[in-house]
Chain A
């Protein structure tokens, strides 16, 4: 955190700190649980997308089955909790480890596939997981209950060890801290050997392979990180909703949504996923709440239109024009030498 801030210009330090303070104080002014729920979901999707970003953003491939790992996280921690009463905080770690192992098993053969093939393989993995969990009633001592899903029994009041809280605020701060942690990790990875190698591999796999970079090894590292943290998000989701079933947590919709937020925000950048979630989630939630009964499907039409329009005019995501504007008007308002087409991302300006 400190290294991140020290390297920046003063104006960026001030901006970053202001944003952080606003985000932490914001919930104190909100009393509506619905608004809180929307805020939590925005941060939650920003978190999932940031985890996706390790693979989808930096390794230059397009995973479209990340719901598989959300589901693994949710099912592992909940099954351990329901069967042995293990606190979800520990179950979370187990879920992460199981997902990381699954990531290795899936990643070893798939990560050498090219773009479209990789995307299709990950869809098959995600959908395969859904079908699998819809069909099994139990694994060993663990009750899975097929399509009926799992229900976490409610404990009364706040209980940190049970990961259950009567108000929405603790959930908000937990997922916010998780998001900040993953963003920091992204920053560290971007500025490390792994990050540089991945960037090179994403640009041109053949050339980097010929320079002696073990592309597949670094892609696998990214995959493991991504799967581990995605699964933690799965546990969070399970504890927030207290009920989930295969279609809700392994669904193609969730996998696609994660990828779309990243693509619209700007994949391969630190703040792209956050921006994407800030733009797409409120639109999704508000149109769903207010329009879904009178005009079914409209919110997804709007979604699709945004996708088509952004990809048409800003294929690298909306972070690009926004960071340009910030740079032009806030960071260097007097810089005459700066030309408009300089590539930059807002947090990388050293």
Chain B
């Protein structure tokens, strides 16, 4: 019995980090109605940024947040400005632009293989004081970096909610996602909002990257795993819904760890796809999505 509770809690810990990465994807979708296929690769860039910063300066990986997150913000800002915007402008009136999906996939290929070319294919891990530390609570064992990661996720999540709800920029972002035309009539500069949303989405990947490196391997194609998981998570939660993304992340994390108690770990991957397809068929708008969105 205790092992199931342990698996459940571990699933929540890991799932919250999945959710954090997926929030960035759902934010970009909510504002631009574009599925960013390069999202996993952006997370990979965030992980490598954190890895190299820690490796070169020797600081604590959690302190690298203050460098990596701004870096990732500007990375996303300029990626959108120079690569995605030109294509997006051409079909911005289409409800679900397809060409942009392809461009982001091209970006995925470029980023992943650039990392392969520059850093090679080997698996790397950041050795820190917390790596491998295990915490015991009521006879259940948890990895310390996962617990810290969960804590950071909760803090960032709360701050992000506050930001979207009350700050002027957050309000502008929400307005744009609700109605592009009306928002731009109110004097909100659309292209700037797109750039900032994209930057924020990537910055969240930076956060996820920093909290993943102390216990997760970094390698050029690490993004693919997170990419597909993020897609599943945002569809589960409803594309464009922030709280849905976090809940979706936790659901996926729990399916993975709890499922592994009953079957071989390789089967749980299939289980995630099946749950995803069922939700998609029964409720395409997801658990928290708006009905008109599918």
The A262-310 residues at the B interface (CB cut-off 8 A) are 263, 295-298, 300-301, 303-308
Binds B, one of A29-37, A131-139, A224-232, A324-332: A131-139
Contacts of B270 in A (CB 8 A): 128, 131-132, 135
Across the interface, which residues of B come within 8 angstroms of A117, CB to CB?
235, 239, 280, 284, 294
Neighbour of A297 across the interface among B90, B114, B274, CB < 8 A: B114
Residues B112 and A297 in contact, CB atoms below 8 Å apart: yes
Which residues on B sit within 8 Å (CB–CB) of A260? Answer: 102, 105
Over the window 265-291 of chain B, the binary record of Cβ atoms lying under 8 Å from chain A Cβ atoms (1 yes, 0 no) is: 011011001101100110010000000
Which A residues are in CB contact (< 8 Å) with B99? 311, 315
- Interface check A123, CB cutoff 8 A: yes
A124 proximity list for chain B (CB < 8 A): 228, 232, 273, 276-277, 280
Residues of A contacting B117 with CB < 8 Å? 295-298, 301
CA distance A193 to B87 in the complex (A): 33
Contacts A297-B112, A315-B87 given; indicate if A304 touches B273 (C-beta within 8 A): no
Interface: A350 (CB within 8 A): no
The interface residues of chain B lying within 8 Å CB-to-CB of A303 are 106, 109
Q: Does B96 contact A (CB under 8 A)?
A: yes
Residues on the A chain within 8 Å of B105, using CB = 256, 260, 304, 307
Known: A116-B96, A131-B273, A135-B264. A301 touches B35 (CB 8 A): no
Nearest CB of chain B from residue A257's CB, rounded to whole Å? 11
In chain A between 73 and 126, which residues have their CB closer than 8 angstroms to a CB of chain B? Answer: 109-110, 113-117, 119-121, 123-125
A: contact size bracket: 35 or more
Docked pose: A158 CA to B200 CA in angstroms? 61
CB-based contact B106/A296 at 8 Å:
no
Chosen A-B contacts, 25 in total, with CB atoms closer than 8 Å, are A62-B101, A114-B294, A116-B29, A119-B35, A120-B231, A120-B232, A120-B235, A124-B232, A125-B273, A128-B274, A128-B277, A131-B273, A134-B266, A297-B113, A297-B114, A304-B106, A304-B110, A305-B106, A305-B110, A307-B102, A308-B83, A308-B106, A308-B107, A311-B106, A315-B87
Chain B interface SS verdict (over half): helix
A-side residues, CB < 8 A to B, are 62, 109-110, 113-117, 119-121, 123-125, 127-128, 131-132, 134-135, 252, 256, 260, 263, 295-298, 300-301, 303-308, 311-312, 315
Chain B: CB-nearest residue to A295: B117
Of the residues A119, A125, A300, contact of B101 by C-beta under 8 Å: A119
- Distance from A58 Cβ to chain B, minimum over Cβ atoms (Å): 14
B108 at the interface (CB under 8 A from A): yes
Chain B contact residues (Cβ within 8 angstroms of A): what range?
Answer: 35 or more
Contacts of A263 in B (CB 8 A): 102
B116 at the interface (CB under 8 A from A): yes
- How far is it, in angstroms, between the C-alpha of A260 and the C-alpha of B103 when the chains are bound? 10
Contact with A along B123-164 (1 / 0, CB 8 A): 000000000000000000000000000000000000000000
Residue of B nearest to A132 (CB): B270
For the complex of A and B, list the 10 residue pairs with the smallest distance between their C-beta atoms, beginning with the closest. Answer: A304-B109, A297-B113, A307-B106, A297-B116, A304-B110, A128-B273, A115-B96, A308-B106, A300-B113, A304-B106
**Contacting residue for A301 out of B96, B110, B231, CB 8 A:** B110
Whether A315 and B90, one on each chain, are in contact in the complex, defined by CB atoms closer than 8 angstroms, is: yes
CB of B103 within 8 A of CB of A131, answer: no
A307 x B87 contact (CB < 8 A): no
**Which of A109, A115, A296 lies at the interface centre, i.e. has the most chain B CB atoms within 10 A of its CB?**
A115
**B91 contacts partner chain A, Cβ-Cβ < 8 Å:** yes
B278: nearest chain-A partner, CB-CB: A109
Which chain B residues lie closer than 8 Å to A307 at the CB level? 102-103, 105-106, 109
